[in-house]
A and B are shown apart, each in its own frame.
Chain A
Amino acid sequence: MSAVKKGLVTFAAAVPEEGLKAALARPRSEVIAEVTASKLRGRGGAGFPTGVKWNLAAAATAPAKWVVCNADEGEPGTFKDRVILAEVPDLVLEGMTIAAWAIGAARGVLYLRGEYAYLRDSLEKVLARRREKGLLGTGILGSPLSFDVEIRMGSGAYVCGEETALIESLEGHRGEPRNRPPFPVDCGYRSEPTIVNNVETFACAAMVLAKGAEWFRGIGTEVSTGPKLFSVSGDCREPGVWEFPLGITIAGLLAAVGGEGAKAVQVGGASGRCVPASEFGRTLAFEGVPTGGSIIVFGPRRDMLHVAENFLEFFVDESCGQCTPCREGNAKLLEGVRMLREGRCSWAYLQELQKLGEVMQLASKCGLGQSSPNAFLSIVEHFRPEIMGRTAGGNA
């Protein structure tokens, strides 16, 4: 298991079922209002306001609705959901149950990353225990709420963490993102209204109901509220899962984890951005450098071209292949990085590749292709002399 340093401090202190009891004692609209007031934003990367999402699903009229927990955690350098599921699984299920009450769902799915299969047994036990204790099933805690959760396994495709591809995968199709709109809150799993939230988001929601929106807003910044878990890896003394309030500066985080002297930090995993040392004063927040929680520290001796190549190899493997910009674009970017490494990439072609990256960001069908060029583009922007340095022909 990973080294947990300061991780899960807030979550570990949660009083069991405090949030669920509070929620069931109040009408649905007030539960959603509380989540909205907390300004909680999705912890899965996109940062969509959770209250808004729940409200849309609650407003949809349909005989059946779904609560889906996205535990696919496929972003390279992210491992905080695994720790949450291992250490405070009840908090996540509590959050899902609150969500079910809020939107009027009777069934939930926990979509577990294929590589986390070893967690499945213990999670099933938690589910069984909750059913026994009347925390799942019909008439939860004496309320009118009936809700149960089943675990479904992912099969190792990164793109299945994208919520609509996840739903396709649940339905037994190729994991390919859908056209949006319609959004899952209108037409999701089995074409029924569905909310998909990250593991950490559900845990936060349970805390919000337990301790109140005001308490939650007291942590973090005006825009980015609450505590946040960070999966820290790379060239630092204390890698692992850390908890910080949102809004901490990159420099502050590096100081805490022993990563001073880093040359760059990849924020947000492979699909995130590479931040150079000159910008370490920026904050980790939705208004600063947004992140699902992955922090990869690059020490002074790291080869940034190698970093770009590594990330692009990942995307060339993981693109679902559905849409042109991402399917062909990532391969072209990777080819370009290899040309750079061999000193065969002209200045002009590098510019073409940058333009291509921007087009991929704009025109790809889903978040994968829209964000896969991020690392490449930020490395080209901030480390141009370093990556062009290998040009044998001297056209740098």
Chain B
Amino acid sequence: MSSRIERTASISRAPVSQRGHVVPVSADPEAIGGTVSVTIDGIEAKVPLGTTILDAARALGLKIPTLCHHPDLEVAGVCRICVVEVEGQRTLQAACAFPITSPIRVQTHTRKVRQARRRILDLMLSKHVGECYTCFRNLNCELQTLAKEYGVDFFRFGHEAARRHQVDDSSYSVRRDMDKCILCRRCVRTCIDLQEVGVLEAVGRSDGTRIATFLDKPLNDVVCINCGQCINRCPTAALGAMDPTDDVWIDINDPKKHVVIQTAPAPRAAIGECFGLPPGTPLTFEMNTAMKTIGFDRVFDTNFTADLTIIEEGTELLLRLHEALVQKKDVALPQFTSCSPGWVKYLEHFYPEMIPNLSTAKSPQQMFGALIKTFYAQKAGIDPASIVACALMPCSAKKYECNRPEMCDSGHKDVDYGLVTRELGQMFHEAGIDLPKMPKGSFDDPFGTATGSGVIFGATGGVMEAAIRTVVELVTGLKIEDVFAHADVLPVRGFDGVRYVELPIPAIGEVPDLLKMNKGLPFSDWKWLEGAVLKVAVCHGTANAKRVVEDIKAGGTFSKCHFIEFMACPGGCLGGGGMPIPTSPEIRAARAKAIYAEDASYEIRKAHENPAVIRLYQEFLTDGPCGEKSHHLLHTHYTPRGKYIA
């Protein structure tokens, strides 16, 4: 199966009006008719047949402005800002939507073209309520940038001051301000076509057209999974995340509050983008210092609970396998990962009948919250009621997750605030911090230092790779390095939408002490796994998840899997809805590179070797992985929601 991003239009759910022209491109560009010549602004080039004028121009280093076009999405051709002159055509043509199938001559910035673009901008601005100072996209806004590039020095067709729409802030994750919407429909295509959720649609027509939810319900009352992918692809501030920074500052400034922050792996590879650095510049340790500088009392590494998740989820998997293989019980397999809250909500809405397959292990964020207000509070001698637990996440759905009513196992709200990468960047700016120049600082105890196994959680396939490293070692007694060179489980890496891997268990060893701590384990050796082949799969983006779940329901290949990693966002967390804007396949690939480089640089790259994790079991979760205590604090339950919400 191929990556969603590279999906062809034929399986797209987008109406044909919003699709590019699919010219069957000859597999062999050398073949006759495989290429076509084009002259753009006097430069001649040969391009594969069916290439759009926009792509051809970009390949030549020529810039054509765009708004409704996005590299992850189907072509729309609706904003018309990209119009160019094509010789012999009466009207201007949208460069993003015009496939070159015969030799043409194109001009990208004639007087006609510039006048048209300027007026199109003027029209957009005439309805755009809001001022850039008060806008979170200020200096990172495609509309604003174009206004500057095209020298907009007055509002030719006026500038509306009065709001026409109410801001929808019903969701814990996504905020909609339709007065800033320019109707490019990138969010619509993101939601229905990239994610295949289908929350947003254009309704009404003419100048009454607007982006709406089903029956105009608040976002909180529809099937939105909070993935925030629409936010990342909105060119303006019409979509944003619910921003808790004001409250976080208040708590930071309150001397009675002990404010701690855990930091997930993906933001480190991206926060540099908020400071003008190229994507994939890791700033992990600079960030630690900066967070202390702005007033966080402790900085923890979410990798700790990522590793813990692996132990818990891995043990859960072994228990399920034992039930299935030995006890011959009817147990839900494959086991699905549960660390992506967008994916969890997707399953709750669209496949509630599959909830038994979801691992009961909480996500690393929520495990951490529960431990901070119990284990850490105890150890540090701090009243958990005075602890404010923040979480730096790449993910808008994490904001929602920490507000799920069941996430209070510590006796308090386990995680108080989900902060996303963009928001922390903003807090740094506000405090005058030039992040790249910060000295390096380390993470605070008692949760130890970063591990590679936790870091790779940030990329699609990372959870699976970490799980394989651990499960293989725990079961075989071998070193993973002897199975996969440098402990790099390459088959599960990459950006293909769905990856399927078979992993024969090469040997069996002793049941390790860590697992034996749980006295309730139904097995004392691994004989029952002798000769077994572990079948796993990795998938990212809910559109791909949907295909995998449908395949499982139909009894296909994936129904034979034991364990499947699902991430709601294309690319996994590094493509999360809280990450710096913009996003593109190249940007996500650069972030992934940084994440894997960081993994390779760590000494500890296996969850079960994380000394802090081992200590936690010894000192606190004394009945071992999946024991009573861990069940209370580290596991959860789910809510069948269905598609139809009252």
The answer to whether B78 touches A363, judged by C-beta atoms less than 8 angstroms apart, is no
**A182 contacts across to B, CB distance below 8 A:** 21, 23, 99
Write the A321-352 contact mask toward B (1 if CB under 8 angstroms, else 0): 11111011111100000000000000000001
Expressed in whole angstroms, the minimum distance between the Cβ of B96 and any Cβ of chain A is 9
The answer to whether B207 touches A324, judged by C-beta atoms less than 8 angstroms apart, is no
Contact A359-B99, Cβ < 8 Å, known A179-B75, A320-B206, A332-B126 = no
Contact A323-B115, Cβ < 8 Å, known A174-B15, A174-B202 = no
Of B116-124, B228-236, B543-551, which stretch is located at the interface? B116-124
Which residues of chain A from 156 to 189 have a CB within 8 Å of any chain B CB?
157, 164-165, 167-168, 171, 173-174, 176-179, 181-182, 187
A230 to B23: give the CA distance in the assembly, Å.
Answer: 40
**A321 contacts across to B, CB distance below 8 A:** 183, 202, 204-209
Expressed in whole angstroms, the minimum distance between the Cβ of A52 and any Cβ of chain B is 15
A-B contact pairs, 24 of them (CB 8 A): A167-B16, A168-B16, A179-B94, A181-B21, A182-B23, A182-B99, A317-B206, A323-B77, A323-B78, A324-B123, A325-B80, A325-B123, A327-B183, A327-B206, A327-B207, A328-B126, A328-B127, A328-B207, A329-B123, A356-B123, A359-B119, A362-B116, A363-B83, A365-B78
A365 to B81: give the CA distance in the assembly, Å.
Answer: 11
The answer to whether B91 touches A168, judged by C-beta atoms less than 8 angstroms apart, is no
**A315 contacts across to B, CB distance below 8 A:** 206
**A179 contacts across to B, CB distance below 8 A:** 17, 19-21, 75, 77, 94, 97-98
**A375 contacts across to B, CB distance below 8 A:** none
The answer to whether B124 touches A324, judged by C-beta atoms less than 8 angstroms apart, is yes
A-B CB pair tally, cutoff 8 Å: 131
The 8 A-B pairs at the shortest CB distance, nearest first, are namely A321-B209, A328-B123, A319-B206, A173-B15, A179-B97, A331-B207, A178-B17, A321-B205
Is B308 interfacial (CB 8 A cutoff)?
Answer: no
Is A233 interfacial (CB 8 A cutoff)?
Answer: no
Which residues of chain B from 168 to 225 have a CB within 8 Å of any chain A CB?
182-183, 202, 204-209
CB nearest neighbor in B for A181: B21
Is A26 interfacial (CB 8 A cutoff)?
Answer: no
The answer to whether B126 touches A173, judged by C-beta atoms less than 8 angstroms apart, is no
Which residues of chain A from 347 to 376 have a CB within 8 Å of any chain B CB?
352, 355-356, 359, 361-365, 370
The answer to whether A332 touches B97, judged by C-beta atoms less than 8 angstroms apart, is no
CB nearest neighbor in B for A191: B16
Is A318 interfacial (CB 8 A cutoff)?
Answer: yes
The answer to whether B205 touches A359, judged by C-beta atoms less than 8 angstroms apart, is no
**B101 contacts across to A, CB distance below 8 A:** 181
A208 to B602: give the CA distance in the assembly, Å.
Answer: 81
CB nearest neighbor in A for B127: A328
A315 to B112: give the CA distance in the assembly, Å.
Answer: 24
A4 to B552: give the CA distance in the assembly, Å.
Answer: 65
Question: Which one, A164, A181, A316, A325, contacts B120 given CB within 8 A?
Answer: A325
Contact A355-B119, Cβ < 8 Å, known A179-B17, A320-B206, A363-B83 = yes
Expressed in whole angstroms, the minimum distance between the Cβ of A199 and any Cβ of chain B is 24
Is B318 interfacial (CB 8 A cutoff)?
Answer: no
Give the interface size class of chain B: 35 or more
| Most chain A CB within a 10 A radius of its CB, from B83, B99, B123, B126 | B123
Is B79 interfacial (CB 8 A cutoff)?
Answer: yes
A329 to B120: give the CA distance in the assembly, Å.
Answer: 9
A324 to B92: give the CA distance in the assembly, Å.
Answer: 14
Which residues of chain B from 450 to 509 have a CB within 8 Å of any chain A CB?
none
Number of interface residues of A (CB under 8 A): 43
The answer to whether A171 touches B207, judged by C-beta atoms less than 8 angstroms apart, is no
Is B156 interfacial (CB 8 A cutoff)?
Answer: yes
CB nearest neighbor in A for B14: A173
The answer to whether A359 touches B116, judged by C-beta atoms less than 8 angstroms apart, is yes
Expressed in whole angstroms, the minimum distance between the Cβ of A46 and any Cβ of chain B is 11
The answer to whether A324 touches B79, judged by C-beta atoms less than 8 angstroms apart, is yes
Is B249 interfacial (CB 8 A cutoff)?
Answer: no
The answer to whether A359 touches B204, judged by C-beta atoms less than 8 angstroms apart, is no
Which residues of chain A from 86 to 138 have a CB within 8 Å of any chain B CB?
none
Expressed in whole angstroms, the minimum distance between the Cβ of B30 and any Cβ of chain A is 23
Which residues of chain B from 89 to 108 have a CB within 8 Å of any chain A CB?
91-92, 94, 97-99, 101
CB nearest neighbor in A for B91: A362
**B21 contacts across to A, CB distance below 8 A:** 179, 181-182, 187
Which residues of chain B from 117 to 144 have a CB within 8 Å of any chain A CB?
119-120, 123-124, 126-127
Expressed in whole angstroms, the minimum distance between the Cβ of B108 and any Cβ of chain A is 14
Is B523 interfacial (CB 8 A cutoff)?
Answer: no
**B116 contacts across to A, CB distance below 8 A:** 325, 359, 362-363
**B124 contacts across to A, CB distance below 8 A:** 324, 328
Contact A173-B17, Cβ < 8 Å, known A324-B78, A352-B156 = yes
**B81 contacts across to A, CB distance below 8 A:** 324
Is B157 interfacial (CB 8 A cutoff)?
Answer: yes
Expressed in whole angstroms, the minimum distance between the Cβ of B103 and any Cβ of chain A is 14
**A317 contacts across to B, CB distance below 8 A:** 206
The answer to whether B79 touches A168, judged by C-beta atoms less than 8 angstroms apart, is no
A319 to B204: give the CA distance in the assembly, Å.
Answer: 10
A306 to B182: give the CA distance in the assembly, Å.
Answer: 31
A370 to B90: give the CA distance in the assembly, Å.
Answer: 11
Question: Which one, A178, A319, A361, contacts B205 given CB within 8 A?
Answer: A319
A321-B202, A328-B127, A359-B116 known; 10 new pairs, CB 8 Å cut-off, are: A176-B17, A182-B21, A182-B99, A321-B183, A321-B207, A323-B79, A324-B78, A324-B120, A362-B83, A365-B77
A191 to B126: give the CA distance in the assembly, Å.
Answer: 37
**B208 contacts across to A, CB distance below 8 A:** 321
**A318 contacts across to B, CB distance below 8 A:** 205-206
**A171 contacts across to B, CB distance below 8 A:** 15-16
**B126 contacts across to A, CB distance below 8 A:** 328, 332
The answer to whether A327 touches B209, judged by C-beta atoms less than 8 angstroms apart, is yes
A191 to B101: give the CA distance in the assembly, Å.
Answer: 18
A356 to B202: give the CA distance in the assembly, Å.
Answer: 25
A363 to B86: give the CA distance in the assembly, Å.
Answer: 12
The answer to whether A361 touches B207, judged by C-beta atoms less than 8 angstroms apart, is no
| Most chain A CB within a 10 A radius of its CB, from B98, B119, B202, B208 | B119
Expressed in whole angstroms, the minimum distance between the Cβ of B426 and any Cβ of chain A is 30
A168 to B18: give the CA distance in the assembly, Å.
Answer: 10
**A352 contacts across to B, CB distance below 8 A:** 156-157
Question: Which one, B19, B97, B206, contacts A330 given CB within 8 A?
Answer: B206
The answer to whether A355 touches B115, judged by C-beta atoms less than 8 angstroms apart, is yes
A355 to B116: give the CA distance in the assembly, Å.
Answer: 9
A365 to B82: give the CA distance in the assembly, Å.
Answer: 12
The answer to whether B17 touches A177, judged by C-beta atoms less than 8 angstroms apart, is yes
| Most chain A CB within a 10 A radius of its CB, from B17, B92, B127, B202 | B17
**A157 contacts across to B, CB distance below 8 A:** 205
A316 to B120: give the CA distance in the assembly, Å.
Answer: 17
Question: Which one, A167, A316, A323, A356, contacts B80 given CB within 8 A?
Answer: A323
Expressed in whole angstroms, the minimum distance between the Cβ of B443 and any Cβ of chain A is 49
A362 to B127: give the CA distance in the assembly, Å.
Answer: 22
The answer to whether A181 touches B207, judged by C-beta atoms less than 8 angstroms apart, is no
Question: Which one, B16, B23, B205, contacts A320 given CB within 8 A?
Answer: B205
